[in-house]
Amino acid sequence: MTTVEIPLTTRKDWSSDQEVRWCPGCGDYNILAAIQMMMPDLGVRREKTVFVSGIGCAARFPYYMNTYGVHSIHGRAPSIATGLAVTRPDLDVWVICGDGDALSIGGNHFIHALRRNIRLNIMVFNNQIYGLTKGQYSPTSETGKVTKSTPFGSIDHPFNPISLAIGAEASFVARTHDMDRAHMQATFTEAHAHNGAAFVEVYQNCNVFNDGAFEAITGKANRSSMLIPLVHGEPIRFGDDGERGVVQRTNGHLEIVDVATVGEAAILRHDAHAEDPGLAFALSRLSRGVHDPTPIGVFRSVHRQEYGDQMTQQVNEATEAKGKGDLAQLFRSATSWTVD
């Protein structure tokens, strides 16, 4: 975590007076703590910060932040946040979703917010389960998953949220997990700095309905060998001594190899700023599930003009060209006639 010379606020200033009501042991506590502790370092103001959420466990998040906040309806948070962000460019707008919220009922708003590149920090707490409705499979649950609504196993093929976001023309796509505060904070900070729609998938443990879903990759003992940290400009390597790495074959496929076998020079360097989303997409396909080594960090971060800025620009240009709107003129913009 970075240090700030003059802390204007502390975590306490960002915590509301509401009792946090997630189940004891829920991964959401870690994410909340990470964000509350990070906010003082972002150089932002509480009264200019808004958390918007939909419905689900994750959606209770705004109640716990001492900022402005809206707890809205299932799946629609990105749409509400869109209207807010494009009319109030002075605000920092965070959208907190769950996997069912963002990718199932709100899938349409999610992809359109990304393609429009609206200045939103969209956090999807992915626990691969419906928690608040007590344990049905979600659009990110693995095929075959036995839940209350799939007693014989789910036959749904899951979404890969990172692939989906890249396919939806997202300009910023990242992944982190609830067991690593420093990584969460670094990732959220980068998302916040992005001028456009920033999507962060957060692997989050639901210890009641889907406990240990990510243990194979995020468990302390497994992280080094199962998480592949993506750092822009750096070779993509992992393992205790960086002994494993990712190479790209001539057919474009990525493959995990022993660095010693192929040589350091053969290891792929991560380029999050590449205009072409091909590499980011290939990285999102590297892992077929939570039992394979899985990339975390920023997959893609490219500049594209922000939506609200363009909207404001059109308003400004029209006002400059025509002068500030005048009602008396507007009413006469069709052919008028006078009766004496």
Partner 1 sequence: MEGGPPVTEKLDRVVVRFAGDSGDGMQLTGDRFTTASALLGNDLATFPDYPAEIRAPAGTLGGVSAFQVHISDHDISTHGDSPNVLVAMNPAGLKASIDMMEHGMVVIVNIDSFDERSLAKAGYSDSPLTDGSLHDFDVYEVPMTSLTQEVCKEVGVKPRDAERSKNFFALGLVSWLFTRPTDGTLDWIAEKFKKNELVAEANRRAFRAGFDFGETAELFHVRYEVNPAPFKGGEYVNITGNTALAWGLIAAADRSGLPLFLGSYPITPASDILHELSKRKEFGVRTFQAEDEIAGIGAALGAAYGGALGVTTTSGPGLDLKAEMIGLAISLELPLIIVDVQRAGPSTGLPTKTEQSDLLQALFGRHGESPLPVVAASTPAQCFDAAMEAARLAVTYRTPVILLSDAYLANGSEPWLIPDVDDLPAFSPDFAEETNAVDAEGNPIFLPFLRSPETMARPWAPPGNVGLEHRIGGLEKAVDAGSVSYDGANHEAMSMVRKERIAHIANDIPATALDDPSGSASVCVIGWGSTYGALNAGVERVRAAGGKAAHVHLTHLNPLPADLGEVLSAFDTVIVPELNLGQLVTLIRANYLIDAKPLSKVRGVPFKAAEIEAAILSAIGEN
Binding site for partner 1 (CB under 8 A): 16, 18, 46-50, 52, 55, 62-63, 65-73, 76, 78-88, 90-91, 108-109, 112, 311, 314-315, 317-319, 321-325, 327-328, 330-332, 334-340
Token digits for 199?
A: 């999507």
| Whole-number Å distance between alpha carbons of 130 and 108 | 19
User: Residue 21 or 273: which CB sits closer to partner 1?
Assistant: 21
Question: Is the distance from CB of 110 to CB of 168 less than 8 angstroms?
Answer: yes
Question: Of 79 and 160, which has the nearer Cβ to partner 1?
Answer: 79
Cβ closest to partner 1, residue 16 vs residue 248: 16
Kindly state the smallest distance separating residue 139's Cβ from partner 1, in Å: 18
Q: What does 212-270 look like in DSSP terms, one character per residue? A: TTTHHHHSTTTHHHHEEEE-TTSB-EESTTS-EEEEE-TTS-EEEEEHHHH-GGGSPBP
Tokens of residue 185, six digits: 């904070």
What are the backbone dihedrals phi and psi of residue 310, each rounded to the nearest 5 degrees, phi first?
-70, -40
CB closer to partner 1, 95 vs 254: 95
Nearer to partner 1, 31 or 55 (CB): 55
Residues 277/237, Cβ–Cβ less than 8 Å: no
Whether the CB-CB separation of 168 and 115 falls below 8 Å is answered with yes
**Which lies closer to partner 1 via its Cβ, residue 83 or residue 153?**
83
Dist CA 84 CA 86 (whole Å): 6
The number of beta carbons lying within 10 Å of the beta carbon of residue 211 is 12
